[in-house]
Amino acid sequence: MKTWLITGASSGLGLQMTRVLLERGDCVVATGRRTEPFADLQQAHGDRLMVARFDITDTAAMRSAVEDAFAAFGRIDVVVSNAGYGLFGAAEEVSDAQIERQLATNLTGSIQLVRAVLPHLRAQGGGRILQVSSEGGQVAYPNFSLYHASKWGIEGFLEAVAQEVLPLGIEVLIAEPGPTATGFAAGLDHGTVMDAYDATPAGDVRRGVADGSFAIKGDAERTVAAMIAYADEAAPRRRLALGSAAFQNIERSLLARMEDLHAGRHVAYSADRD
């Protein structure tokens, strides 16, 4: 039996993961801005489920909940950083306040969660942090620029943290699901549409999301099952793409970046000192 802490657990992948883990006999600290979705689970699983209500952007409340969680269970094996949402709009269309909230939630909130749990993971001699990122941490679509900024940012942060904490017995894992049927699109925060972008790729993506032609191949239950299996592995890789779309899009992006890198090799080497 393991104990998990999951942020953003009141909906989507987080709620599905909470259900599956409780059903298999594990303990879960489920956090979210709402507690109503946990009522039936609390009744069914009793003390194996601890619920904490806070917004991930409230660092003080999050730290307090983390303290309570480790105090209640003594040990937490896997911390799942899952809280987040998407900001939808061309860079010029979104407001300053929307940008601040997007980064505060997806990037700063995730950073502060990691910082809050590290002292406890060190004290217990190890553990795992599973960041639920996205294929959007490796690729980019028009109309999602700020979402991508948050996901590329958290992946870069965790690449460094992983090196810092591995000698302490703490492992960092990054899950990168592709578009998945979770209600993510319904929860998008939208910028103010500008006619100037209608005939651009941003407009094409906007129409694709609106009319359903933007393909969503990922299955939520299978994605959650794969993430749990990933966190259970004896020696997991750093990253795991989830869904055929994520695999193909990330592969295509990485190959294109490698081509760009190699094409500029002579210029890169020319910048060295003699």
pLDDT value of residue 182: 67
Asked about 151 being catalytic, the answer comes back as yes
Res 184 pLDDT > 90: no
Residues 212 and 231: their CA atoms lie apart, in Å, by 32
- pLDDT, tens only, 19-71: 999 999 999 999 999 999 999 999 999 999 999 999 999 999 999 999 999 99
pLDDT value of residue 183: 65
Label residue 209 by pLDDT band (50, 70, 90). Answer: confident
Asked about 133 being catalytic, the answer comes back as yes
- 246-259 average pLDDT score: 97
Q: What is the mean pLDDT of the chain?
A: 94
User: Is the CB of residue 79 less than 8 Å from the CB of residue 128?
Assistant: yes
pLDDT value of residue 179: 80
- 118-126 average pLDDT score: 98
pLDDT value of residue 2: 97
For the chain, percent of residues with pLDDT exceeding 70: 96
- Please pick, among 133, 134, 145, 150, the residue that the annotation labels catalytic: 133
Res 187 pLDDT > 90: no
For the chain, percent of residues with pLDDT exceeding 90: 89
pLDDT value of residue 261: 97
Highest mean pLDDT among 35-39, 128-132, 206-210: 128-132
- Please pick, among 10, 81, 151, 230, the residue that the annotation labels catalytic: 151
**Torsion sign across C-alpha atoms 185, 16, 217, 56:** positive
| CATH match for 3-270 among 3.40.50.300, 3.40.50.360, 3.40.605.10, 3.40.50.720 | 3.40.50.720
Pairwise pLDDT comparison (210 vs 28), residue with the higher score:
28
Res 188 pLDDT > 90: no
- pLDDT, tens only, 235-252: 999 999 999 999 999 999
- Please pick, among 2, 85, 134, 147, the residue that the annotation labels catalytic: 147
Ranges of each domain in the chain = 3-270
- 102-110 average pLDDT score: 97
pLDDT value of residue 75: 96
Residue 188's alpha-carbon distances to 104, 108, 137, 191, in angstroms, are 15, 19, 17, 10
pTM score: 0.94
- 201-222 average pLDDT score: 84
- 202-216 average pLDDT score: 82
